[in-house]
Chain A
């Protein structure tokens, strides 16, 4: 109990020197976020943010381990850039509930990104996300397609259109499944 510091503190930290990993309770959310995040449609603020740096919200673990729990896009950029710059970090203890909320909020935010595949994301949320967290974040009482669509502000028709489009594409992508091409 001694080494757990309940007092929040703000520091400048060179993240390339610390052991900087995802918090175990946020891991599922990060996996999903990586899988569904949009790759080339976001504006690249990373370069501009060189001097303006809002603090990263981190949790300190044992032996100089630092856990991140949200702001995945920025963390991703920091990890890729691999520079030895120092970043302002807000190190606070968080409850598991809060960690999950913060992490899953990142995934739920993907609903609004431009080229998201809604049916796949819906399926993923349904299968992998903790229900209570999702309900709270989306302010719904059960995760149905209707609720999802109204939260994402899309019509059910466009959701179903995407769904059927994938099904149609499945027969177009990859190798033909018969030898008909030999004859025609």
Chain B
């Protein structure tokens, strides 16, 4: 039975119809490719098709020129999907050369094509998988693509296994292994498991004759609901809900994702009237407005988290509360025990009490952030935190990222594990009762949900002085804390901070309890780094700058003028130097890659070692910009560059009277400091991110602001967090370093320049040496 299923006899007519479907007559070189398929299939007879009825076929060969030509035609006709098999085969041929029965690659392709033909012969909805199969192999042909690993493994599997069942079995094993290693966090997540899964599915369809199961997408999927609300902000206020809408600006000159820009620009939010006004204010729109504004200001004040704020507990109160809760938890049972559990979890996770109630009401498999993990000997719950950063889809960069993923887990005390095993249902009133009781017992002036929720955050921020860790650990959404977009951070520092914070909370418990808190803890394997998908690892970063500097210096001793300005190597060197300096400025200042960044020469003060920049889209009343300390390395780099452009201009301007280099305008700050020569239109103009992208061409491609991510990552856990925020312009409203009420001294900001020099040192940055005279 099984063998009947896995083998299908096929006659010439059937084969022809299938081939016509795969390689339509309209597609380039259709006959030749159809014959190639027949020939390749005959290499490994009887894998999935009995091809005895197929007439003898002749060997087909293509020249490289033909291959390129056909591939070009397919791309130009925009039929990559419809003619997926032709496209895949022609690229495969280009890489592995003429069909050879001894070639392992072609042996694999023979089996693969049989699978594709079988799916086509079924004439059902599974046909869509053919395109998938084509894509997977095509991607794997490029050595830089992580998917090349899949292709190599597939070829390997096909040489070892002769039968379809054997191959399928091995693919399944490969898929499970990949999935395991991706979730374990021991390797960088290259997102391969899903892709292998799609191939496995195609093999399953043929081997096990699977029915087609379609997916139906409902319009109100979670994702979409989330998306449409990205620009909505809810503020924490006393009585009425406070909602604001941020209107993002279109960034036409960079390729940074919309959400990231929105969070980073931090545009003025417009408060809207999404609340039911009280009777008193309902009649008057002016009163409404006034109340709304007042509430908003109030909410911003709360953002400071001063220890005098009445909305949060003092450290002592938190410690007393924790101790009492722990004692009660051990003594009580039933409903009160559940309510103490909920309060305690809210206290040590910083989540809203409502969220904790909802989460505990679910079955453990359905919970989202109280995640249930199955270990080898035991299973346990952890706090699971996902940082919703911009995903990096550039496949050539995936393996070079510093972050392995964007989620991490934190331990929960051992005693809580068994209590939260089952779903718990509880009423709000019961929790309020417990809170009232606790307030009376501890003699606290006030104890509300808000006091509980803010405890962990205020301890980490005020006592441990780690505002970034506080945002991460209490799972603040990225859109409320733009630093999270930029940081790739070590998970060890996070779990250390967390354990420290909870230990501080438990200071008043008996030493036994303190010791036990995390000692029985199950080993949590976190990925070493999580967060921003854009920051790359140090090695690749060093290499990148080495290559840029190498490009500038490669012209030394090879400078020649040419008849045409387009081949003048003096100008090519000038461009290479400008590109290098632009990247150096980005990694040493962290400014946004806006048009004409870093601006004019007079924005730099080399004596005071400060740089004034306004890199946000200007809005009314907030175009002040900010001051950035200059590192010694950067000062030298810019001064060398200025010396260079003076020499360059002296030589250039006499030779090309029609294409002048505007040296006077640059030195007198009338034109941007960094310029690039472009061939069309011919001439010099200020640098822009898109021009940089064009200059780098096939050398490198990444999100324009990746060095901003990189610098943030390198500074995090090295320099004081409030200074990094000042450098990036990421302070909360009214908490800006240069705010009139700010108590920060300018010298403290200047101390950043030492950290910036450390970064330069860590990345092995070297000044470039340019010899313009011979």
Contacts and interface: CB of A to CB of B under 8 A. Distances in A.
Interface stretch (B153-161, B501-509, B548-556, B738-746): B548-556
B647 to A, nearest CB: 11
A138 to B, nearest CB: 18
B144 A173 contact: no
B698 A34 contact: no
Contact of B562 (A120, A172, A174, A183): A120
Contacts of B774: 39-41, 115
Nearest to A27: B657
A97 B773 CA distance: 35
B547 A175 contact: yes
B558 interface: yes
A169 B573 CA distance: 13
A47 interface: no
Interface string A142-183: 000000000000000000000000100100111111111111
Contacts of A169: 558
A127 B563 contact: yes
A35 B696 CA distance: 28
B446 interface: no
Contacts of A41: 774
A116 B397 CA distance: 44
Given A34-B655, A40-B773, A182-B540, A175 B699 contact: yes
Contacts of A177: 697-699
A126 to B, nearest CB: 9
B547 A123 contact: no
Contacts of B572: 173-174
B273 interface: no
A176 B143 CA distance: 17
Contact of A120 (B561, B654, B697, B700): B561
Nearest to B772: A39
Contact of A182 (B396, B562, B773): B396
A35 B699 CA distance: 30
Given A40-B774, A181-B543, A175 B562 contact: no
Interface string B515-559: 000000000000000000000000010010001100100110010
A20 to B, nearest CB: 14
A36 B558 contact: no
Interface string A125-151: 001100000000000000000000000
B561 A36 contact: yes
A174 B576 contact: yes
A166 B568 CA distance: 12
Interface string B635-666: 00000000000000001001101000000000
B563 A128 contact: yes
A31 interface: yes
A181 B698 CA distance: 11
B676 to A, nearest CB: 14
Interface in B173-217: none
A179 B144 CA distance: 8
Contacts of B695: 175
Contacts of B569: 173
A178 B572 CA distance: 18
Q: Which of B572, B697, B699 counts the most A-chain CB atoms under 10 A from its CB?
A: B699
A127 B563 CA distance: 8
Nearest to A76: B654
Q: Which of A31, A41, A173 counts the most B-chain CB atoms under 10 A from its CB?
A: A173
A173 B539 CA distance: 23
B575 to A, nearest CB: 9
A55 B732 CA distance: 74
Interface string B429-445: 00000000000000000
Contacts of B773: 39-40
B560 interface: yes
Contacts of A179: 144, 396, 698-700
Q: Which of A174, A178, A179 counts the most B-chain CB atoms under 10 A from its CB?
A: A174
B709 interface: no
A31 B655 contact: yes
A166 B696 CA distance: 22
A53 to B, nearest CB: 23
A120 B774 CA distance: 16
Q: Which of A35, A41, A172 counts the most B-chain CB atoms under 10 A from its CB?
A: A35
Contacts of A178: 698-699
A124 B558 contact: no
Contacts of A176: 547, 551, 699
Contacts of A181: 543, 547, 699
A120 B560 contact: yes
B554 A172 contact: yes
A123 B654 CA distance: 20
Nearest to A126: B563
Nearest to A173: B554
Contacts of B143: 183
Contact of B560 (A39, A117, A183): A117
Contacts of A31: 655, 657
Interface in A97-135: 115, 117, 120, 123-124, 127-128
Nearest to B142: A179
A117 B570 CA distance: 14
B708 interface: no
Nearest to B572: A174
A176 B696 CA distance: 9
B261 to A, nearest CB: 26
Q: Which of B572, B576, B654, B697 counts the most A-chain CB atoms under 10 A from its CB?
A: B654
A41 B698 CA distance: 38
Given A124-B563, A174-B551, 10 more contacts: A31-B657, A39-B651, A40-B773, A120-B561, A173-B572, A176-B699, A181-B547, A182-B144, A182-B396, A183-B144
What 9 pairs between A and B have smallest CB-CB spacing?
Answer: A175-B699, A175-B551, A35-B561, A173-B554, A34-B655, A124-B563, A35-B655, A40-B773, A169-B558
Interface of B: 143-144, 396-397, 400, 540, 543, 547-548, 551, 554-555, 558, 560-563, 569, 572, 576, 579, 651, 654-655, 657, 695-700, 773-774
30 contacts: A31-B655, A31-B657, A34-B655, A35-B561, A36-B561, A39-B651, A40-B773, A40-B774, A115-B774, A117-B560, A120-B563, A123-B562, A124-B563, A169-B558, A172-B558, A173-B551, A173-B554, A173-B558, A173-B569, A175-B579, A175-B697, A176-B551, A178-B698, A179-B396, A179-B698, A182-B144, A182-B397, A182-B540, A183-B143, A183-B144
